[in-house]
Amino acid sequence: MDFVQVSEEEGDEPIELPAEEDGTLLLSTLQAQFPGSCGLKYRNMDTKAVRGVRSNEGRLFPPSVDSGWGEYIYFCVFPKENKRKSDDNLENSTAKTKRIETRLRCTDLIVLGLPWKTTEDSLREYFESYGEVLMAQIKKDVKSGQSKGFGFVRFGSYDAQMRVLSNRHLIDGRWCEVKVPNSKGVGHQVPCKVFVGRCTEDINSDDLREYFSKFGEVTDVFIPRPFRAFSFVTFFDPDVAQSLCGEDHIIKGVSVHVSNAAPKAEQSRSHQGQNYNYSSGNSYGMHSYHPQGNHMTSHPGRSGHHRGNNQHNAHGGENPNIANSHSHSHSHSHSNNASGGYGMGGHNYGGNAGGGYHNNSSNHASGGHINRQDGGAPYNRQGNFHGMNQPHNGNVGSGGWMNRGPLDMPNLQALGINSQGSSSSNQGQNMNNPLGVGLNLNSLPINPALVAAALNQWSLVGNQLQNQNQDQQGGNFLSWMAQNGGHNANNNVNYGGRKGSNNPNNSGPGGMIKVDNSSCNDQQNGCAPGNAGWSNQSSGSQNSVEKSNFL
DNA sequence: GTTGAGCGTT
């Protein structure tokens, strides 16, 4: 068996860690000795530079295929802001402060999909590699003592919590899912994950990780198998993820498109609590605080315009909730491009920026600025998600899509199809074309609402949804319009009349397409119940405007 | 003794 010499920091005394038969070193092996570490690096004697060790799927790969790990002494990579030494300092100097913050910010996390055999000790042992575990419990049958297959864990640091939430977890041989429990209400989950569309088959997870690492630490890369032309990249810092959304990037000569990926967990969680009206400006004010305040500043270095979906269309200002709920600190790009402005008003909040939801991780340790190395200045491209900590596909993209294969939806996004870019007049409009033909309501020289009404009249839209959404009253687009006074502040009126989509509670037919891999436990493919969410989202409709914007 | 979506006898 090969051993790899690893020290915590360069110059420290190394520990020999056993490599696997295939020559790789398990991340879990590393973390067993160096909790919190996320990778390895070493000093290249030739260049005198520090080189990183390739890491993928929980495995660290030796630098050389031939000579393996060689005689290098490797040292640990720790997540930024999670360096153990600074942690120690924190412990010593501001222990009390830390404890207070912990109380404020950490929450119990539910761990789903645990193997029956997992004990509280092994659960704790697993998560301790992320940081201090304050509590680890397995829910058991009171009589038999048998595990129910889920448990709870609580961390001592918010960073650890965030890291755990943004990763998949292989616990005692099974992929498990960690979420903020429903009972906690909407918690601290953040959209660290982005959807990368237009991927080609030769773009592997290493390529994605390597490429996107320059923007910030990548905690996970997931490529659905079989090949589906898209993938997911998860960043440690949600702001990094956000900053990339809407952009095209070139990887291995291929232009890929980054957009928002809304975790299924967020969707399902919205089942509880209020019946959000995503199509109403009201949703904007659901949480009137402004959690990402310092992210909303205008950032010099870009044009000053919020690209993509951030335009504030049709400033009608009908909705007082919008008008009063906060003040903007960022520079708007007020593009009065609302075609007609029918049914529109107010700002385009709640909107169409990539199906996103606004996380409330205002305290996240990013400082609000993202060090981009591509010359771009950091700025918030999704400024229309103020204060929302619920997922809200303002673009009302769910529902509908009847008789469509589950691959159609993600493929639209995978192919980078959207209405942005070439037609600036179309930005922020997010008109859904229910016919699925090359018709863009927005581009028509008539009131799109009338078009929608006509479609409604022809029973081309809306009616088939009657039974899918019992908690919505009307039956079609017109009745919906009537209910909403015809001037709903939200621009993302679903002109397709897929009313079911206006309600996040609707997860019924036409909404998310369940990809049931719950019985699959193939670790190689990352297939486990816990992963179903990420699969679903790509098959479902909650991804982003770029899908529902088109069609 | 089996099982695999969910949400915690505090």
Q: What is the 3-state secondary structure (H, E, C) of A339-384?
A: CCCCCCCCCCCCCCCCCCECCCCCCCCCCCCCCCCCCCCCCCCCCC
What is the percentage of chain A residues whose pLDDT exceeds 70?
41
Tokens linked to A375:
């010359």
Among all strands, which nt has the closest C1' to A514 (CA)?
Answer: B5
How distant is C1' of B2 from CA of A527, in Å? 23
Q: Report CA-CA distances (Å) from A60 to A63, A325, A419.
A: 9, 48, 41
The distance (Å) linking the CA of A175 with the C1' of B1 is 24
Q: Which residue has the higher pLDDT, A64 or A274?
A: A64
**Which of A58-72, A119-133, A304-318 is the most confident on average?**
A119-133
- How far, in Å, is the CA of A24 from the C1' of nucleotide B1? 38
Signed CA dihedral, A80, A86, A88, A93: sign only: negative
HSE-up of residue A84 (Cα within 13 Å, Cβ side): 16
What average pLDDT does chain A have? 58
A523 sits within 7 Å of strand B by its CB: no
DSSP string, A111-149: EES--TT--HHHHHHHHTTTS-EEEEEEEE-TTT--EEE
Average pLDDT for residues A354-358, to the nearest whole number?
A: 35
How confident is the model at residue A307, as a pLDDT? 32
CA A142 to C1' B8, in angstroms, rounded, equals 13
> Nearest nucleotide (C1') to the CA of residue A528?
B4
* Length in residues, chain A: 551
Question: For residues A355 and A326, is the Cβ–Cβ distance under 8 A?
Answer: no
Of A29-38, A187-196, A307-316, the range with the lowest mean pLDDT is A307-316
Q: What is the pLDDT of residue A439?
A: 35
Confidence of residue A67 (pLDDT cuts 50, 70, 90): confident
pLDDT band at A444 (very low <50, low <70, confident <90, very high): very low
Confidence (pLDDT) at A185: 56
> What is the pLDDT at residue A512?
34
Residue A294 DSSP SS3: helix
Q: Which carries the bigger pLDDT value, residue A198 or residue A189?
A: A198
Confidence of residue A6 (pLDDT cuts 50, 70, 90): very high
Check residue A70 and give left, alpha or beta (phi > 0: left; psi -120 to 50: alpha).
left
pLDDT tens track for A72-118: 999 988 766 544 444 444 444 444 444 444 444 688 999 999 999 99
Q: Quick one: pLDDT at residue A190? A: 58
Alpha carbon distances (Å) from A536 to A90, A330, A407, A448, A502: 40, 34, 11, 31, 19
pLDDT tier at A48, thresholds 50, 70, 90: confident
| Measured CA A414 to C1' B5 distance, in angstroms | 29
Q: How many angstroms separate the CA atoms of A384 and A356, rounded?
A: 9
Give one word for A118, left, alpha or beta, with left for phi > 0 and alpha for psi -120 to 50.
beta
A135 touches strand B (CB under 7 A): yes
Assess whether pLDDT exceeds 80 at residue A506: no
* CA dist., res. A169 & res. A179, Å (int): 11
Task: Please name every residue paired with A43 in a beta bridge, in sequence order, or none if there are none.
Answer: A50
Does nucleic acid strand B have an atom less than 7 angstroms from the CB of A7? no
Contacts of residue A168, Cβ cutoff 8 Å, sequence gap at least 6: A175, A176, A177, A220, A222, A526, A530, A531
The reported pLDDT for the residue numbered A66 is: 85
User: What percent of chain A stands above pLDDT 90?
Assistant: 23
> Which nucleotide has the least CA–C1' distance to A184?
B7
Strand B atom within 7 Å of A47 CB = no
- The label of the residue with tokens 């700002």 reads A347
Residue A292 in contact with residue A356, Cβ under 8 Å?
no
A263 touches strand B (CB under 7 A): no
Q: Is residue A408 a contact partner of residue A473, using CB atoms and an 8 Å limit?
A: no
Residue with tokens 């003040």: A327
**What is the reported pLDDT for A151?**
95
pLDDT above 80: residue A47:
yes
Cβ of A113 < 7 Å from strand B? yes
- Please report the pLDDT score of residue A73 as a whole number: 92
Is the confidence at residue A332, as pLDDT, over 70?
Answer: no
pLDDT band at A119 (very low <50, low <70, confident <90, very high): very high
Which nucleotide has its C1' atom closest to residue A153's CA?
B8
Cβ of A182 near strand B (under 7 Å)? The reply is yes
Question: How many angstroms separate the CA of A136 from the C1' of B1?
Answer: 27
- Quick check: A36 pLDDT over 80? no
Q: What is the pLDDT of residue A198?
A: 92
3-state secondary structure of A227: coil
| pLDDT value at residue A445 | 36
Decide: CB of A514 under 7 A of nucleic strand B.
no
Nucleic strand B under 7 Å from the C-beta of A519: yes
Q: Does the C-beta of A114 come within 7 A of strand B?
A: yes
Residue A285: predicted pLDDT:
26
A533 strand B contact, CB < 7 Å: no
Whether A139 sits with its Cβ under 7 A from any strand B atom: the answer reads yes
User: Is the C-beta of residue A148 closer than 7 Å to nucleic acid chain B?
Assistant: yes
Q: Is the CB of A152 under 7 A from strand B?
A: yes
Report the distance from CA of residue A179 to the C1' of nucleotide B1 in Å, as an integer. 31
Residues 268-307 of A with CB under 7 A from strand B: 268-269
Indicate yes or no: strand B within 7 A of the C-beta of A106.
no
Q: Specify the pLDDT at position A373.
A: 44
Give the C-alpha separation, A462 to A459, whole Å. 7
The confidence score (pLDDT) of residue A543 equals 33
A417 touches strand B (CB under 7 A): no
Quote the CA–CA distance of A217 and A213 in Å, as a whole number. 5
Return the DSSP state at A524. Answer: T
Evaluate the omega torsion of the peptide bond into residue A14 and state whether it is cis, within 30 degrees of 0. no
CB of residue A144 closer than 7 A to nucleic acid strand B? yes
List the single protein residue with the shortest CA to C1' distance from B9: A142
**Closest nt to A532 (CA→C1')?**
B5
Can you give the distance from the CA of residue A352 to the C1' of nucleotide B5 in angstroms? 31
Tokens describing residue A403: 């008789």
A 211-230: CB within 7 Å of strand B = none
pLDDT score of A534 more than 60:
no
Nucleotides of B under 7 A from a protein CB: 1, 3-10
The predicted structure's pLDDT at residue A438 = 35
A108 CB closer than 7 A to any strand B atom? yes
Distance B8 C1' – A288 CA (angstroms): 29
- State how far the alpha carbon of A238 is from the alpha carbons of A193, A352, A372, A502, in Å: 7, 19, 14, 26
Instruction: Please give the pLDDT value at position A207.
Output: 94
The answer to whether A341 CB sits below 7 Å from nucleic acid chain B is: no
Lowest average pLDDT, out of A77-91, A164-178, A250-264, goes to A77-91
Residue A257 pLDDT exceeds 90: yes
Q: Kindly state the average pLDDT of the residues A4-9.
A: 90
Name which residue leads in pLDDT, A495 or A8. A8
Nearest to A244 by CA among A256, A229, A230: A256
